[in-house]
Amino acid sequence: MIRRTILRANVKLPEKWVTRANKELRGKRTAESLILRSSNGFDVKPIYTAEDVTVQPNLPGEFPYTRGVHATMYTAKPWTIRQYAGFSTAQESNAFYRQALENGQQGLSVAFDLATHRGYDSDHPRVVGDVGMAGVAIDSVEDMKVLFDNIPLDKVSVSMTMNGAVIPVLAFFAVAAEESGVPQEKLTGTIQNDILKEFMVRNTYIFPPEPSMRVIGDIMAYFKEKQPKFNSISISGYHMQEAGANQSLELAFTIADGLEYIRCAISRGLTVDDVAPRLSFFFGIGMNFYHEIAKLRAARTLWATMVKKYFNPKNASSLLLRTHTQTSGWSLTEQDMYNNVVRTTVEAMAAVMGGAQSLHTNAFDEAVALPSKTSSRIARNTQLILQEETGIPSVCDPWGGSYMMESLTKNLVDEATKIIEEVEAKGGMTKCVVDGFPKLRIEECAAVKQAAIDSGSETIVGVNKYVNKEDSKVETLKIDNTAVLKSQVERLTALKASRDSAKVEAALAAITEACKDSSKNILGLAIEAARVRATLGEITSAMEAVFGRHVAKSQVIQGVYLDSYSRGGEEKAEDMKSVRALVDQFAAKEGRRPRILVVKMGQDGHDRGAKVISTGFADMGYDVDIGPLFQTPAEAAKHAIEADVHVVGASSQAAGHRTLVPQLVAQLKAQGADDIVVVVGGVIPPEDYEALYAAGVSHVFGPGSPIPMCAREVIQTLIKRQK
């Protein structure tokens, strides 16, 4: 159990201004009370002056690149409009990409389904609920060829968000390109390949941290020789922000990850200049407008300074932090959904005022589904309007020289430097990730933020204030998972029947050998395996035979939700007390506290919700058990029975609930435990509620449900059952 509090900096206001402000405020409040103390751990002053600016930045294109990596920035070439997309089969995603490119999109960005992420073929029993749901299903080079059919890979740059199963996916991509006539050296694009943040927040790892770093070393070495225009890693803070990190944590851990990857390259005989020019970054852009702009300015400054300090490269390109950005999915709401168009626009403005190289703008229906045709058009048009109607791209670093912006940038650099130094002192990011400290810091931040929202001290329009009482129904995209699954399984069966299995066996055996021998390059051998039609699952298994599969351990943080929620005022503190009283009442009669098991089933690793719920419920007196990620319904049911819980709470962010929750209820029943209450929370579209209730679920908590309300409803149900 961990308990921490967030410290706040002291801030100084100009005396003359304080006098004037106090006069204007006529004793109703003080000038100091105008300092915004937000849950992100930063204070924003109501006024900045020249005294706040200690560093005047250099020009864009000059070290340390605070004002941008190019001298001309968007005045010569605007950022790339690169929408992240993928769903169902390769064929359907291909049609979607081609249409997007015809309508103004400039680069591709592939979203794979969770089965692919975790290295399972579509016919694997663990992934029945996941195939084609959160992205496109890719099992072999044949699927990859369909995905890029009629897309010129020597012209369109392609980003692929893949981390765990990065080896087979890169191999399929290289072979698909080759077979369409494009040699590897002409390929441009980016592979996410950022495994460190997977262990911290995103959770689509496969192998343990150390062999995973070996894989990254192999990829960097391979790209240097064979795919020099491809960015080898997209070092991602985005997922940290989505998981709850504030700007300084996001910034610090991302830069620290980047330093660790350079070290990884050096440890296998590459130089900083061999790899750093093709390291790229990825940041999330949330609603904290000024801070998000400052964050990108600070990121460039930090990277240039630290790479110079630690590695002293000869090539200036090694110092440039080039970044993709994505507006925050987490900031979008199910309630009053069209508000999300506005949120995304504001966030997109922060991204481009911060000087991003590439941007994804989220679709407004994000909180409940994958983008529909309409919502993805509006998301893309948001960027086209910024590029072509507003004049925003006609000035480099438009905020440069603002007292506030320079001061915020400097504060963020300083804050992040402290955290990076802490990481370095602990031996670098791989060690920290194994030890778990960055993950806990982020989870703590998430709990504080959620409590601030639940208590109303932070406003979310349409959720905790100005709630729209009228129903505004929005049509969302539905994926027919059974049809995708059927078609993938048929394709796999046909592929396996048509290939030369002796060649496949030999290619897979060579991969397994290479995993034991670090002088060999796993990616090179996987490309050979892809050529003879080995599948993603087979290549992964060939590696897993040596590396094993990583299993993470979960911890519950306590205290921070309660602290932050109680700051919302007396009424809020009372609210929590009354839930606790119900919990105590139950416990008195039961002889023990209500016990809840929070589970994540299927391959959905988004665990922010599960972690925040766990902290909140623990702070309200529940005994909380968190299940390991990726359980099957049968495993979750067994766990619930063994832990003797009263309630199972299934958290679902990737649409798996439709298949997996009814299976969980059935499993509990089959194992003689239908007295265990099942509740579901997360990204649950309203039209799914009925089916869940019909399956035996007692409560469904959609996005934005305040935790005390959930805890109250659950305990009331348990109390009723006691009588």
User: Where along the sequence are the contacts to ligand 5AD (CB under 6 A)?
Assistant: 84-87, 111, 134-135, 329, 362, 366, 370-371
80 binds ligand MLC (CB under 6 A): yes
Strands 43-44 and 36-37: antiparallel
157 binds ligand MLC (CB under 6 A): yes
Rounded to the nearest whole angstrom, what is the least distance from the CB of residue 600 to ligand 5AD in the complex?
Answer: 16
**670: number of Cβ within 10 Å:** 11
Q: Of 84 and 222, which CB lies nearer to ligand 5AD in the complex structure?
A: 84
- 604 labelled catalytic: yes
CA dist., res. 307 & res. 69, Å (int): 15
Contact partner, 323, from ligand 5AD, ligand MLC, none, Cβ < 5-8 Å per class: ligand MLC
Residue facing ligand 5AD at closest CB distance: 329
278 binds ligand MLC (CB under 6 A): no
135 Cβ contact list (under 8 Å, min separation 6): 86, 87, 110, 111, 112, 113, 114, 116, 117, 161
Q: Which of 45, 67, 82, 297 binds ligand MLC (CB under 6 A)?
A: 82
Return the bridge partners of 360, or none.
Answer: 326
Rounded to the nearest whole angstrom, what is the least distance from the CB of residue 365 to ligand 5AD in the complex?
Answer: 10
Contact partner, 659, from ligand MLC, ligand 5AD, none, Cβ < 5-8 Å per class: none
Contact partner, 621, from ligand MLC, ligand 5AD, none, Cβ < 5-8 Å per class: none
105 binds ligand MLC (CB under 6 A): no
Rounded to the nearest whole angstrom, what is the least distance from the CB of residue 127 to ligand MLC in the complex?
Answer: 17
Count of chain residues binding ligand MLC (CB under 6 A): 28
- 639 labelled catalytic: no
**Choice among 600, 611, 657, 699 that is catalytic:** 600
CA dist., res. 285 & res. 84, Å (int): 15
* DSSP structure string for 409-473: HHHHHHHHHHHHHHHHHTT-HHHHHHHTHHHHHHHHHHHHHHHHHHTTSS--BTTTBS---S---
Contact partner, 234, from ligand 5AD, ligand MLC, none, Cβ < 5-8 Å per class: ligand MLC
Token pair of 602 as six digits? 């299927």
Q: Of 361 and 705, which CB lies nearer to ligand 5AD in the complex structure?
A: 361
CA dist., res. 365 & res. 342, Å (int): 13
357 binds ligand MLC (CB under 6 A): yes
315 binds ligand MLC (CB under 6 A): no
Contact partner, 624, from ligand 5AD, ligand MLC, none, Cβ < 5-8 Å per class: none
Q: Comparing C-alpha atoms, which of 121, 129, 122 is closest to residue 602?
A: 129
93 binds ligand MLC (CB under 6 A): no
324 binds ligand MLC (CB under 6 A): yes
Q: Of 248 and 357, which CB lies nearer to ligand MLC in the complex structure?
A: 357
Question: What's the distance, CA 177 to chain centroid?
Answer: 28
CA dist., res. 647 & res. 554, Å (int): 18
Q: Which of 33, 72, 472, 493 binds ligand MLC (CB under 6 A)?
A: 72
Q: Which of 291, 295, 322, 611 binds ligand MLC (CB under 6 A)?
A: 322
Rounded to the nearest whole angstrom, what is the least distance from the CB of residue 192 to ligand 5AD in the complex?
Answer: 11
Q: Of 242 and 415, which CB lies nearer to ligand MLC in the complex structure?
A: 242
Cα torsion 137, 141, 144, 146: sign: negative
- 619 labelled catalytic: no
Contacts 24+ apart (CB under 8 A), 633-637: 633/601, 633/660, 633/661, 633/663, 633/664, 633/666, 633/667, 634/663, 634/667, 636/597, 636/599, 636/601, 636/664, 636/667, 637/664, 637/667, 637/668, 637/670, 637/671, 637/673
**Choice among 48, 205, 222, 238 that is catalytic:** 238
Q: Which stretch binds ligand MLC (CB under 6 A): 169-177, 293-301, 320-328, 644-652?
A: 320-328
Q: Which stretch binds ligand MLC (CB under 6 A): 5-13, 68-76, 469-477, 488-496?
A: 68-76
Q: Which of 358, 430, 631, 659 binds ligand MLC (CB under 6 A)?
A: 358
3-state SS, residue 289:
helix
For the stretch 528-567, what's the b/e string if a residue is b when 16 or more beta carbons lie within 10 angstroms of its beta carbon?
Answer: bbbbbbbbbbbbbbbbbeebeebebebebbbbbbbbbbbb
Q: Of 77 and 486, which CB lies nearer to ligand MLC in the complex structure?
A: 77
CA dist., res. 251 & res. 235, Å (int): 11
Rounded to the nearest whole angstrom, what is the least distance from the CB of residue 617 to ligand MLC in the complex?
Answer: 26
Q: Of 100 and 515, which CB lies nearer to ligand 5AD in the complex structure?
A: 100
Alpha helix (H) residue ranges in 328-402: 339-353, 373-388
Rg, Å, the chain Cα set: 25
- 324 labelled catalytic: no
Return the bridge partners of 81, or none.
Answer: 359
120 binds ligand MLC (CB under 6 A): no
Q: Of 80 and 409, which CB lies nearer to ligand MLC in the complex structure?
A: 80
508 Cβ contact list (under 8 Å, min separation 6): 529, 534, 538, 539, 541, 542
282 binds ligand MLC (CB under 6 A): yes
Contact partner, 86, from ligand MLC, ligand 5AD, none, Cβ < 5-8 Å per class: ligand 5AD
Q: Which parts of 179-285 are beta strand (E)? A: 189-191, 230-231, 233-236, 279-285
Contact partner, 329, from ligand MLC, ligand 5AD, none, Cβ < 5-8 Å per class: ligand 5AD
Token pair of 229 as six digits? 């225009």
Helix axes 209-226, 536-547, angle to 10 degrees: 130
Contact partner, 366, from ligand MLC, ligand 5AD, none, Cβ < 5-8 Å per class: ligand 5AD
Phi, psi for residue 704 in degrees, rounded to 5:
90, 0
CB distance 97 to 348 below 8 Å: no
Token pair of 560 as six digits? 């921070």
239 binds ligand MLC (CB under 6 A): yes
3-state SS, residue 308:
helix
x/- string (CB under 6 A) for ligand MLC, residues 209-238? Answer: ----------------------x--x----
- 124 labelled catalytic: no
Cis peptide before 64, with omega less than 30 degrees from 0? yes
Contact partner, 357, from ligand MLC, ligand 5AD, none, Cβ < 5-8 Å per class: ligand MLC
Q: Which of 88, 248, 254, 280 binds ligand MLC (CB under 6 A)?
A: 280
Contact partner, 370, from ligand MLC, ligand 5AD, none, Cβ < 5-8 Å per class: ligand 5AD
**Choice among 239, 324, 410, 449 that is catalytic:** 239
**Choice among 130, 365, 397, 604 that is catalytic:** 604
CA dist., res. 148 & res. 135, Å (int): 15
159 binds ligand MLC (CB under 6 A): yes
**Choice among 48, 84, 120, 205 that is catalytic:** 84
Rounded to the nearest whole angstrom, what is the least distance from the CB of residue 715 to ligand MLC in the complex?
Answer: 34
**Choice among 45, 295, 606, 611 that is catalytic:** 606
Contact partner, 85, from ligand MLC, ligand 5AD, none, Cβ < 5-8 Å per class: ligand 5AD
- 84 labelled catalytic: yes
Q: Of 262 and 367, which CB lies nearer to ligand 5AD in the complex structure?
A: 367
CA dist., res. 268 & res. 212, Å (int): 14
Give the torsion through C-alpha atoms of 275, 311, 258, 251, to 10 deg. -140
Phi/psi-derived region of residue 203, left when phi > 0, alpha when psi is between -120 and 50, beta in every other case? left
Contacts 24+ apart (CB under 8 A), 424-427: 424/256, 424/259
Q: Of 448 and 654, which CB lies nearer to ligand MLC in the complex structure?
A: 654
Annotated catalytic residues are 84, 238-239, 600, 604, 606
Chain residues that interact with ligand MLC, rule: CB under 6 A: 70, 72-73, 76-77, 80, 82, 84, 107, 109, 111, 157, 159, 161, 190, 192, 202, 231, 234, 239, 280, 282, 322-324, 326, 357-358
